[in-house]
Amino acid sequence: MGVQWRDWSRAAFLQAKRGNKPILLHITGTWCVLGHEMEQRTYNDPVVANLINKHVVAIKVDTDKRPDINQRYNQGGWPSTVLLDHDGSVLDGGLFIPPEMMAKRVQVAVDKVKGGSRKPLETLAFTGMRLGHGELAPATVDKIASLLRTSFDSTYGGFGSEPKFPHPDALEFCLRLHARTCGLQTTKQKPVMRSPYLSMVEKSITGMKRGLLDTRGGWFRYSISRDWREPHREKLLDTNAALLRMLSLTYQQTKKKQHLDLARKTATYLLRNLADPDGGLYAGQITAQQKKAQVDTRIFVDKNGHALVAFLDYFTASKDRRARRAVLQAFERLETAYNKKRGFAHYIEGKRVVHLGWLPDSVAMGRAYVALYQALERGAALRKAQEIAEIVETNFLERGGGFLDRIGQKDDVGKLEQQQTVFSLNVQAAQFYLDLFDATGDAPDHALAKLALESVKGVYRIQGVLGAGFGIAVDRLVNKAVSW
């Protein structure tokens, strides 16, 4: 029969409390191959399923629908398997767990709760609270640049070892460093001046092309091997949009046709496979060998906001009118998810518009409206971005700190009862206000960007390659603007 799953709710937590039971939290995604495998192998195992159904309250969470829960309970990847006390504190956690081990760990959690010997663990999900010291200065940019040089894979491109992710923010940061070193390449005839940073970008593109670029179109999310040759089969909107932007910016830096050709292939894949006829882009595809791809037709607002910025960068580079039409249609569709008090909803599924009060939804769309203003010179888009900025400041700005990740709800439970100052989300907010500052020169926008970065500046040192976005934002804040 398998595990009987419940949705995340206060009622589920109350059931666990009344029955003195632990909670099993299964965080996965429609695209998560290992998540599907664990559901088939582990949660359909008769011993495991019987144990859980009798003695545990089992909750399944879609990571894309509920990024706020994922932020608080993710154990370092997907699927995340978390055993909780009925107050939401973590008793045990891991990723993929086979049946025999799962039965043992569930029984330990049951015994802990029944016996009253609870020793909660801290979840590995990192909030980005104010740790240590940091500064917003050119020296910070230099330190992150040094980290990227150290972690760069000079053999295959990319950063680190297996599993290998594209890290588009790190590549964009390298492009900015190259632009500072060598300046913008403005003509096809002018030889491209080389820098170590441009070499890192182009080596990475070459490596990723060999392994992550599907012959049927689109980029896979990551490879389990260092040489990019063993990709996982999911092709997601956020991965492809980020690579579309990076490729477009690389072309604008170098004027090399091969980069624009790759950008065009990526844009074509997105428009052919993930574009909704009524506007907006679907969440992604899962492509199995020799099987028809399954499409996740939900339209996530934050992911679409990032995609719109990418398409506008691509349009600036290519003048591809297909991209322009798709962008304008997507803005029209996403406008249906906008509320003048709360900002943007989190996703559209069929005719349902679902609000979550999640900071990245409004921030990503705010950046998209600034990009629309810059690419197509639409004054109304800038005014809309400024309106969104006011909503973000009103709903998410913490007094004396940075931006909180979500709007609190009356039925919040577990770790949702506390809002968080998240490193990556404050970097995104800073980028939005820096976009506005670049467009208008308004000092308050620059001040809000600085406030967002100040709130998490002590954390970037432990982020590794994932700190590259912070490097971009600090570079924009303290250094002379770079022209793409």
Chain segment 461-472, per-residue pLDDT in tens:
999 999 999 999
Q: What pLDDT, on the 0 to 100 scale, is given for residue 292?
A: 77
Which amino acid, residue 164? Answer: K
Please list the rounded mean pLDDT of every run of 10 residues in the chain (484 residues). 96 98 97 95 98 98 98 97 97 98 98 82 49 78 97 98 97 95 59 82 98 96 97 96 98 97 98 98 80 90 98 98 98 98 97 97 98 96 98 95 96 97 98 98 97 95 96 95 70
Cis ω before 163 (30° cut-off from 0): yes
Question: Between vectors from CA 277 to CA 272 and to CA 278, what angle results, nearest 5°?
Answer: 140
Q: Give the HSE-up count for residue 65: Cα atoms under 13 Å, Cβ half-sphere.
A: 18
Question: Are 112 and 121 contacting, i.e. CB atoms less than 8 angstroms apart?
Answer: no
- Domain locations in the chain as residue ranges: 10-115, 138-478
Q: Which residues pair with 159 in a beta bridge?
A: 152
Q: Which residues pair with 168 in a beta bridge?
A: none
Q: Exposure pattern of 379-397 as b/e (b: 16+ CB <10 Å)?
A: eebbebbbebbebbbebbb
Report pLDDT digits (tens) over 302-313. Answer: 999 999 999 999
Among residues of the chain, what percentage have pLDDT more than 90?
Answer: 88
**What phi and psi, each to the nearest 5 degrees, are found at residue 367?**
-65, -35
10-115 homologous superfamily:
Glutaredoxin (3.40.30.10)
Residue 292 per-residue DSSP state:
P
Burial of 228 (0-12, 13-18, 19+ CB in 10 A): buried
Distance CA 114, CA 190 (A): 73
Distance CA 179, CA 203 (A): 17
The H or E element that residue 234 is part of is: strand 234-236
Question: Are 263 and 244 contacting, i.e. CB atoms less than 8 angstroms apart?
Answer: yes
Question: Are 102 and 384 contacting, i.e. CB atoms less than 8 angstroms apart?
Answer: no
Instruction: Tell which CATH architecture fits domain 138-478.
Output: Alpha/alpha barrel (1.50)
Chain-centroid distance, C-alpha 17 = 33
Distance CA 336, CA 97 (A): 41
Q: What pLDDT, on the 0 to 100 scale, is given for residue 122?
A: 58
Chain-centroid distance, C-alpha 445 = 23
Instruction: Tokens for 62, please give them.
Output: 């879609």
- pTM value? 0.94
